[in-house]
Chains A and B, each alone.
Chain A
C-alpha cells in the first residue's frame, strides 16, 4: 500500500502510456516511432509545468502573509477565504494590464528576455528528483546541467536591463550581473564538496548516497561539519543568486525602483516574478537534493510517508526559511555584498572543500568529526573576524543632530 502510494505518479504515467498504446492497437493505428517517447516526455513535463507555477501562486500569498505577520499585521485577507485567492486577483490584474514597451527599447530583446528567463527557470527542473523514480531526465551530469542552465538566467537579466534603454534598468542589470557572477562561485563550490564525497554528478545517485541511517540521525550531508557549512554557504549564495533580500540590490526599490525589469508591465512583469520564484524552488530543491537527503525520510520509521511528500515538505520548509530571512535582514550595500562574496564566502567554501576531503580520508569514527569540524569552525571564526568586526563600524556619532 505504502509502496503504491509512493509510486502513484510513476504508476499513473505508465498506466496512461500503456493505455494509449492499447488504444492505438485497438484502433489499428500504427503511430510513428517517435510519437510514444514524445508522449512520455509530455507526461513527465506536464506535472512540472503545473505543480510549480501553482506552488508559485500559493507562495506569493504565503510570503505576503508571512511578511505581514513578521511586521505585526495581517497581510492580504480580502480575496477568498483568509485572502488565499489573492494570487488569482493579482494574476488577472497582470493579464489585463496594458503591455507597455518603451519607444527607444530594443523590442525583440525586450520581448524575449522574460521568455528566456522563464524557460531557463523551468529547464532546471528536468534533473531534480522529486521522489523515488520521479525525475524527468536522469542525467549522469545532472548537477552540471543544473548550473549550466541556471547560469543562462544571468544572460536574460542583462538582456532585460540592456534592451529597456533605461538608466535604472541598466544599473540594476549591472548590479545583478556583478552579484550573480560573484555568488555563482560559492554556490557551485559548496556543491562540489558533495560531488567529492559521493563521486557522482547525478542528482539521483547523490540522493541515494544519503538514504542510509546511522544511529539517530540520517546520513544527510547537512549533519556533517562540512555539509552543514556547505549548506549554509549554499543557502546564502542561493539567496544572492535569486536577488532576494538581503541581496536584493538589483531590484533596490529605494534607489533604482525595480532594477532590470522596471520597463516591464502587465504579464511580462508577472513572468519575471514567476521565474524568480521558480528559480527559488529549483535552488531550494537542489539544496534539498545535495544536503537534506532529497526525498528521503529523516527516520526509517517515517518511510511510510511517500517520498514526494518528503520532498515537498522540505521544499516548503526552505521556502519558509527564505521568507523568514527576507522579513528579517536589511539590504546590503554594494561593497558589503562584494566583500561578503570574495573575502568570506569564497575562502570559506575552499576551506570547506578541504574539510570534506579530511572527512573522506580520515575514515569513520570521531576523529573525522574532530578534524573536519575544527577546520570548519576555525576558518569561520578567523575569516569572520577581520571584516565584520572591524573598528570603523562603531556607534554612529552625529555632529548636528542629536
Chain B
C-alpha cells in the first residue's frame, strides 16, 4: 500500500534517533580534538628522515644520493649534496645532505621515495596535525624538522621497522665482511702481490 515504505523509513530513523540517546554504539563519530580514533599500522602521511644514535643531523642515514628527488612525482623534494664526506652507519665514507627540504603542500604521500631509497633512510610518518598559519614557509620542512629517530619509526610502524632493521643488519654485516676482506687483502698484498677476489 502507498505510504508503508515511508512509515518503515520513519520508524528506522526514529530508532536511530532514540537509540543515539540510549546506547553509545549508535554514535559512531569521534569528538576529534578531545579524542582521536587509533590509526591503523599502515597509516601514512608525509615522509621523514630516519637517524640512528643521538644526534639527529649526524645520525641521518641519508647519503644524498638524490634518487628520491628524481623519482618524486610532484617534485617536492629538494636536496643539496654536501661537498665533504663523513662516516655513515656502515662505517663507510659517504656524502650527506647539506639541505634536505620537503614541501608538504606539494607532497602527495605516494611513498615512492620510500620505495626507491636504497639506504632505508626515508620513511612515512603518521603525524597529520600539520596545519600552520604560514602556507609557504610553514609547510616547507627542512632536515631538522624531518629527522626522526629509528625508535620513532619502530613505534609507529613496528612490522616495517623490523623488516628495515633486518635489512640494515644484513647490509652492515656485508659491509663489515667486505672491509675485513679488504683488510686481509691489504695484509696479503704486503706479503705477496696476488690480488684476492672480493666476494
Contact = CB atoms under 8 A, between A and B. Distances in A.
Contacts of A381: 1-2
Contact of B13 (A328, A384, A389): A328
A394 B28 CA distance: 33
Given A380-B2, A384-B2, A388-B2, A72 B10 contact: no
Nearest to A77: B31
Contact of A328 (B3, B9, B31): B9
A69 B13 CA distance: 9
Interface string A59-103: 000000010011111100100000000000000000000000000
Contact of A324 (B10, B26, B31): B10
Which of B3, B13, B26, B28 has its CB near the most chain A CB atoms (within 10 A)? B13
A77 B6 CA distance: 30
Contacts, number: 46
B6 A72 contact: no
Nearest to B2: A384
Interface string A290-329: 0000000000000000000000000000000000110111
**What is the size category of the interface that chain A forms with chain B?**
20 to 34
A104 to B, nearest CB: 33
Interface residues of B, number: 18
Contacts of B14: 324
A348 B13 CA distance: 28
Interface stretch (B16-24, B107-115, B144-152, B184-192): B16-24
A385 interface: yes
A72 B20 contact: yes
Which of A74, A328, A344, A385 has its CB near the most chain B CB atoms (within 10 A)? A328
B43 interface: no
B27 interface: yes
Contact of A74 (B12, B16, B29): B29
Contacts of B6: 328-329
A381 B4 CA distance: 12
A385 B17 CA distance: 31
B27 A329 contact: no
Contacts of A389: 2
Given A325-B10, A328-B10, A329-B6, A70 B16 contact: yes
A74 B27 contact: yes
B1 to A, nearest CB: 7
A77 B31 CA distance: 10
Nearest to A344: B2
A384 B20 contact: no
Contact of B1 (A70, A327, A384): A384
Contacts of A69: 16-17, 20-21
Interface string A199-222: 000000000000000000000000
Contacts of A70: 13, 16-17
A244 to B, nearest CB: 15
B21 to A, nearest CB: 7
Nearest to B15: A70
Given A384-B1, A384-B2, A388-B2, A73 B27 contact: yes
B37 to A, nearest CB: 14
Contacts of B31: 74, 77
B71 to A, nearest CB: 35
23 contacts: A66-B17, A69-B16, A69-B21, A70-B13, A71-B16, A72-B16, A72-B28, A73-B28, A73-B29, A74-B31, A324-B10, A324-B17, A325-B10, A327-B13, A328-B6, A328-B9, A328-B10, A328-B13, A329-B6, A384-B1, A384-B2, A385-B2, A389-B2
Interface of B: 1-3, 6, 9-10, 12-14, 16-17, 20-21, 26-29, 31
Given A70-B17, A72-B26, 4 more contacts: A74-B31, A329-B9, A384-B3, A389-B2
